[in-house]
Structure 1
């Protein structure tokens, strides 16, 4: 069983040795019985209030108070106190400065952080991050002496925030960062940087980044969208109108029936995704990759697909629901090898588009701009091309002959 040496508050005489009980109340009860006083508070030799039995170690020297504040002894150098050397002369306008002298790493020290006292041990301050500023300040292996002002009770003065220092000290005690409700991690981060706690800085930066709310212009990541997707019941519509998915990787996902109206999907990767019956009305899909995607019954009215890639996509719904891409902006789009039977491309702009080997049977291309469009090897049987602009369009290796009636108004 551990034992401690106790003295009355403000005295280094009449000391007693007692066994350390299981809780702080037992220590107070035994100390009061031994010293013949009503014991109410326990102080370390530096004046730090001890309120937890775990803070007391074997052979510690403690000062027992009847409720009055800590009173330093006339000569309070004890076997457990921090050794100090005081300069011979001190200006009356200047606070006394002490020089830390290396002592046993298990000895207690008291820090005055912004007016609040913290009692801890040298080993606590040096164990978790031995290269930190705190470790160098209190390490008995340090080759560089460190000077600090002390208060009237001998506690080392450090002008920092006690609110943000407390979780740092607890982290140094047990290696786990625990932030109470109302403690701003950004404030703790600044203190961790000041004390040179590099590993803790990394933990806090990750917490801040993870908890930072996305602003209106921040693109949604695949992970964020997956969490939203998984949280939506299968019988409910997932509404993503106007959301920013720029450059997002949504490839190979089942995204059927989602409402992407007005969404921003510039340069997004949707290759291999199932987008059947989705609504992309007036959405921005410029530069997006939709290769091999399922687009059954899709709605892309007035959508912007300029420069996008839709190789080998399937628009043909066996149930008969037609894809609607009326008025879509599809300059320089690549639709090579896509199945687009009965798709509605009325008044769509397909200038310089690549529609090689596409199945366009029964497609509606009335009024569409097909200038310089490559339709080589495509099947345009029963397609409606009335009023379409076919200037410079290529029709080589057509599977079915193009009848003049298809191009008349």
Structure 2
């Protein structure tokens, strides 16, 4: 009887091993099946890409940009592979819907500005020195550079705009009115009282109140914003604030320094920059060379703002 029990136990053990092995084999087969399906899907996607690959006949490409005609080389258009034009003319995309009857490719953008985009593709950043020193025109170029995803040109134009569009100390004095008296900004109930700092963001006094004060692409090197009380939201975007000074200021609303140059910019004895009631941001701005007083630096670091 004991021999029979032993045989049963042995058979049971073998059966369990067989069941476990079958389960493992099934799991492996399922994994192999999934891998085959994934490989098949990748191959189908690759075939679709191959079928859609656009073959350029010759190296000269004719373009119709917003009605303005251009001719350039394929190598010029693909000089920056990660840009929109680089991807568009890489050959990996079907451009039949963009192709005109005369064989040119239509791009629905500003044709005048595209001349400068094309020159940048040909000659690089050195061509930026030949751009017109007009803020309005340069902003137009900047829009196109962003659309075509030419990061180098975007950076170069941002620097050029800051050089061209300079804010003077007199502009600051004019824009931020004396704060010694009461002012009704919109002729209604918005009354602002003078404070110990002496200046405030008082735009268009006795006309319309300003919801936000915004400066973009400005050269504000060395300017003094000392003893100014900012009651409106303040946004400084892509501004060069090298050597500027924010000392004994008071911020009563949101403030943002976005993509700004803050080399040797002084922040000291400031009230309201780090509070729970409004936000402060240094997004994209390099703050490592800015000069914060010890208390402010500790507060900003604690709030993970710098």
TM-score computed with the length of structure 2 as normaliser:
0.38
Bigger helix fraction = 2
TM-score computed with the length of structure 1 as normaliser:
0.29
- The answer to which structure, 1 or 2, has the higher relative contact order (CA under 8 A, 6+ apart) is 2
